[in-house]
Structure formats: C-alpha cells, structure tokens
Amino acid sequence: MLKITHAAGHAGVTPGKRSPDGYTEWQVTSEIVKLVMLELENYEQVIQKRIDDSTGKIDIPLKNRCELVNDWGANVHIDYHLNAYGSGWNNAGGIETYTYTTKPKEAAQLAEKIQKNLVVELGFRNRGVKTADFQILRETKMTAILIEFAFMTNQHEAMKMRTAQYQKKAAKAVVDALAAQYRLKKKQVVSAGTLYRVQVGAFSDINTANDLAEELKAKGYPAIIAAL
Ligand SMILES: [Zn+2]
C-alpha cells in the first residue's frame, strides 16, 4: 500500500506568491493537486491525502504541514509550487524538481522521473533535479519531493499553467512517474455483463406494430421496430 500526501504550496491568501497580474501560485497548484488525486484513484493500493487547506483560506505553517505528513505515516510526500524571479514579468523560466540535500535514493529516482515527464508534457526549459534544504523536505520522514512546475513571473509559462490543458499535462507527468516508480497497477474496469432486451409483441401487420411503438414512445420508452 502506498500512502501519498499532497500539498499545494502556501494558500490563496498568502501575500506575494502570485503573478505580476495577481493570479496566485495556489490557484494553479491546487488544481494540479486535485487532478493528480483524481487520476490516482484509478490505481490499486494507493491511499492519499491532501494536507494543505483545500479552500485556500489558511496557509498552514510549514511546521504543521510536516507534522501532518509524519503523523499520517505517508510513504511519499509531494509539494506543488510555481517558481518566481523578481517582481515583474521576465524571461526566467523552466521546470525544477527538488529533493533534500542528502539526495535520498528513492526521492532522487522519483524526482528524475517527474522532471523528465514534466519537460516532455509542458515543454518548458529543463532546469534539472536539484537539492535544497527546504523545511518540507528536511523535516518529513518519508520520500519527499518539491516540484516547481513553471515560473509564474514568466508570462508565457504563467498563462499556459492557468489552462486546464496544461494542468492536466502536469498532473499526468506526476501520476505517470509515481506509477512507474512504485509499479502501480490500474484498477480493473468491471464489464457491463449480459444485457437483456424486453420484447413487447410480434405482429404480422406493420400498422399494428407502428401503433404499439408509438404508444410506447408516448410513454417515454425508446421503442424500435425490427423485422424478424
Ligand atoms: Zn511556492
């Protein structure tokens, strides 16, 4: 069983953490979290939990976020972010995925897979897998990674990341990487089984058949006439 926690960085109300035109980092990353969780529902043996405030109204302090993840006993934690450079629009751009400075083996493998998939899916510059002494990576006890999907101060990337299309691409990149790293299997789709048809009557006179079909249609049944 794989226990995964997800957190969109910050919150909708966090000061700063927004594009030069006021669109928040959380607005984008929250959607990606939702899409990743929805897609992961299709896999067996996954239990997952979102640990940021899904209304975006409370920026849960990092210390509490780490406690939530540790106390729940997650095997994997993923933190979702958008990068920023300066305060106005500029050309700094690209994708980065972070592990803690000690480069834990499993986290490094997962980060490489996510980074590779994101570069293919989103088409932004590959800034590579990096390490950082981030609290969410340092004080969590499991495989933890932090993703910077794009720069919200890069107008081209920011606008793309606001679209459902790019949010879906980003989510696909993360889910495919998790599925590959942990060899997740998709749930079997249950087939519809045998279908039974109901026959109302058989008539040699087409007019009688038409009359009955009309009567059934009037009552809301999708009647059809078939020649036997
Ligand atoms: Zn962030």
Find the 6 Cα to ligand 1 centroid distance in Å: 14
Provide φ and ψ at 153, rounded to 5°: -95, 0
* pTM exceeding 0.85: no
Find the 19 Cα to ligand 1 centroid distance in Å: 12
Find the 25 Cα to ligand 1 centroid distance in Å: 7
Q: Which amino acid is at 152?
A: M
Give 35-89 pLDDT, tens digit per residue: 999 999 999 999 999 999 999 999 999 999 999 999 999 999 999 999 999 989 9
Give 99-129 pLDDT, tens digit per residue: 999 999 999 999 999 999 999 999 999 999 9
User: What is the number of residues in the chain?
Assistant: 228
**Structure tokens, 221:** 């049944």
Per-residue b/e over 61-73, b at no fewer than 16 CB within 10 Å?
A: ebeebbebbeeee
Q: Ion ligand 1 — residues with CB under 5 Å?
A: 9, 81
Domains in the chain: boundaries: 2-181, 197-228
Name the pLDDT band for 15 (thresholds 50, 70, 90): very high
| Per-residue confidence (pLDDT) for residue 224, from 0 to 100 | 82
**Structure tokens, 81:** 């972010």
Beta strand segments in the chain, E:
2-8, 46-50, 76-83, 95-99, 126-131, 143-151
Domain 2-181: what homologous superfamily?
Answer: Zn-dependent exopeptidases (3.40.630.40)
Find the 179 Cα to ligand 1 centroid distance in Å: 25
Determine the straight-line distance between the first and last CA of the chain, rounded to whole angstroms: 54
